[in-house]
């Protein structure tokens, strides 16, 4: 019988949590990718979502799961010295369109620190068209856990989707009132 890899199990958990929210109308799933890179022998899965009532590109989120060759090999080779490498990397990204003003960036940082904690690595990267006026930017906020997520932490993935939804709600509230 086929024994699915940790990557497969984690992917199913993430999909289940997010598709349940999509079916309930809480979010709208806008894109989904399941990629197998033959050259690097790695797998990547990501899923994008937003609120149904918000125009695409204004406010959205993505959760990405990646298993590299050494992660897959460590899991498949039983008794491997590197069994501690079995698992996946999780990266979260949020996409926010807003004015190019310092108080907007500070408010975004405060929201993320409030939901995810002060010790989490949170980076803001800005994309914009330098010829466009008035200046709107696409702020890509990345949360990198900087560690391997193992199959034993599967319940954390469901909780992570809840934190992502809380973050989107807080961002929506701020930008609706700000």
Alpha carbon distance 28, 22 (integer Å): 5
> Considering the chain, what percentage of its residues have pLDDT values greater than 70?
94
Average pLDDT across the chain, whole number: 91
Q: What's the pLDDT band for 2 if we cut at 50, 70, 90? A: low
The predicted structure's pLDDT at residue 4 = 74
The predicted structure's pLDDT at residue 154 = 87
Q: Tell me: the pLDDT tens digits for 60-93?
A: 999 999 999 988 888 777 665 566 788 899 999 9
Alpha carbon distance 65, 3 (integer Å): 19
| Average pLDDT estimate for 3-12 | 87
In this model, does residue 1 exceed pLDDT 70? Answer: no
The predicted structure's pLDDT at residue 88 = 93
Q: Tell me: the pLDDT tens digits for 105-142?
A: 999 999 999 999 988 999 999 999 888 877 899 999 99
In this model, does residue 174 exceed pLDDT 90? Answer: yes
Nearest-CA neighbor of 57 among 166, 124, 138? Answer: 138
In this model, does residue 41 exceed pLDDT 80? Answer: yes
Q: Where are the domains of the chain?
A: 6-177
In this model, does residue 22 exceed pLDDT 60? Answer: yes
């Amino acid at each position: 019988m086929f024994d699915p890899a940790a990557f497969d199990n984690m992917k199913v958990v993430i999909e289940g949590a997010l598709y349940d929210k999509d079916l309930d109308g809480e979010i709208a799933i806008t894109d989904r990718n399941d990629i197998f890179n033959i050259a690097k022998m790695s797998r990547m899965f990501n899923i994008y979502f937003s609120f149904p009532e918000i125009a695409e590109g204004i406010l959205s989120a993505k959760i990405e799961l990646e298993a590299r060759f050494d992660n897959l090999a460590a899991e498949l080779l039983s008794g491997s010295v590197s069994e501690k490498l079995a698992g996946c990397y999780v990266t979260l990204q949020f996409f926010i369109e807003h004015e190019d003003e310092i108080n907007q960036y500070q408010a975004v940082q405060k929201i993320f620190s409030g939901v995810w904690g002060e010790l989490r690595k949170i980076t803001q990267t800005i994309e914009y068209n330098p010829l466009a006026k008035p200046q709107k930017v696409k702020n890509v906020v990345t949360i990198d856990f900087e560690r391997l997520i193992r199959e034993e932490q599967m319940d954390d993935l469901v909780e992570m989707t809840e934190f992502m939804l809380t973050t989107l709600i807080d961002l929506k509230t701020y930008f609706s009132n700000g």
